[in-house]
């Protein structure tokens, strides 16, 4: 299932690293301002990449906004089991009928070799 649009945060090392992966899963990849609150109405769902279920303050604050508006949120722990993570992602995307997905993660994730596992595993 291809998502209509995946939104990535501008000026983010994580977004730069995940852009190709995102383009394989969406009809269009859009870069949005660092002030994600300004673009909030564009998103119907959010995918959070994280390490060991730890969220940065910025990501946590954005997740709270999604939760308040009951928009679909899914988290992938890149240190978790790869096949389970990918299967759960596919199932979640299909069930929540994601069309305009915000994909977010902290810039520290680019240093974790497990991020590359997710990027290359589903090619």
pLDDT the model gives residue 108: 93
Tally of structural domains, the chain: 1
pLDDT the model gives residue 58: 86
| Ranges in the chain, pLDDT < 50 | none
With helix as H, strand as E and coil as C, how does the chain read? CCEEEEEEECCCHHHHHHHHHHHCCEEEEEEECCCHHHHHHHCCEEEEEEECCECCHHHHHHHHHHHHCCCEEEEEECCCCHHHHHHHHHHHHHHHCCCEEEEEECHHHHHCHHHHHHHHHCC
Structural domain harbouring 29: 3-121
What CATH number does the domain containing 63 carry? 3.40.50.450
């Amino acid at each position: 299932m291809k998502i209509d649009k995946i939104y990535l945060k501008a000026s983010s090392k994580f977004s730069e690293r995940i852009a190709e992966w995102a383009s394989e899963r969406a009809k269009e990849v859009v870069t949005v301002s660092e002030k994600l609150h300004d673009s909030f109405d564009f998103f119907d769902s959010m995918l959070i990449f994280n390490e060991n279920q730890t969220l940065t303050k910025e990501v946590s604050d954005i997740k709270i906004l999604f939760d308040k508006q009951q928009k679909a949120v899914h988290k992938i722990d890149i240190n978790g089991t790869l096949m389970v993570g990918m299967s759960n992602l596919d199932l979640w995307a299909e069930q929540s009928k994601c069309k305009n997905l915000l994909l977010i993660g902290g810039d520290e994730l680019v240093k974790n070799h497990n991020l590359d596992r997710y990027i290359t595993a589903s090619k």
